[in-house]
Structure 1
């Protein structure tokens, strides 16, 4: 009897540990409910019809309001490993001045580019303060009347409901 219990416990433990290694898929960004962004047609749809069919875009263009982006991606995570992006779709919808769809472009994971971050820091003017200078540097700088009588010290608890 104890031998059968040990075997069942070991089997259940192995099954649970194998189940923990299953990959987890997560959808990020725009998830099309009915219409897909690729179904938008140039020269026939308008901003209003795209907004009604697809909803708000994930991102609008930084420099003009005439390009909308619908972003979606699927990422796979396996146990403790770094997540892997399985697919990415970026649909760019460009409008003309009248609000008509001018162009619909689709970009995938293969169109992506790696961006190398720069670790340099921009130097600031003046001298560098040590930790002790930063901590003790404000002692004696505030006038005494602000410390006792006035509760509206910037950064203090003088706001609505503060200090009660």
Structure 2
């Protein structure tokens, strides 16, 4: 009876541990319907019709307000790890000065960049000091010869 209880409790602990490692799927950004995006035609549609079809853009161009970007990203995160990009869509709608669609560009996950910092240390000039030197380094320096006194 006792070994049966131990086996059941171990099975429950294992199930809880495995259950904690399930992935969490998340969607961030615009929800762009591919059929609606394909129906936009340069020279025919304008800002008003694009806004009615796709909604307001995720952001506009920094250097050209006539560039509208619709960004959509699906990620998966397992337990406490960083989320990984599963799918990404960037739809760029360019307008001419009159507000008509001039061009449409679509890109995907190929532009996702993974950045790895070189290390966790910031390089500094000067003397390398350890933890204890930083902690006890000022003992005895108050009132030392050559330093201004506190009088």
Aligned to 1:90: 90
Q: Please tell me whether residue 6 in structure 1 is matched to residue 1 in structure 2.
A: no
RMSD: 2.6
- How many residues of Structure 1 are paired with residues of Structure 2 in the alignment? 119
1:14 aligns to what SS in structure 2? helix
Aligned to 1:37: 37
Stretches (4+) displaced over 4 A: 33-36, 112-117
1:115 offset after TM fit, Å?
A: 6.9
Question: Mind listing any 5+ residue stretches in structure 2 that lack a counterpart?
Answer: 124-151
Which whole-Å deviations, capped at 9, do the CAs of 1:69-97 have from their partners, x for residues lacking one?
00011111112222211221110000112
8 Å CA contact 1:37, 1:70 repeated in 2: no
Which whole-Å deviations, capped at 9, do the CAs of 1:38-92 have from their partners, x for residues lacking one?
4422222111011111111000011222110000111111122222112211100
Query: What's the TM-score, normalizing by structure 2?
Result: 0.67
8 Å CA contact 1:23, 1:79 repeated in 2: yes
2:107 aligns to what SS in structure 1? strand
8 Å CA contact 2:32, 2:72 repeated in 1: no
2:9 aligns to what SS in structure 1? helix
Query: What's the TM-score, normalizing by structure 1?
Result: 0.62
Q: Please tell me whether residue 21 in structure 1 is matched to residue 24 in structure 2.
A: no
Question: Mind listing any 5+ residue stretches in structure 1 that lack a counterpart?
Answer: 121-164
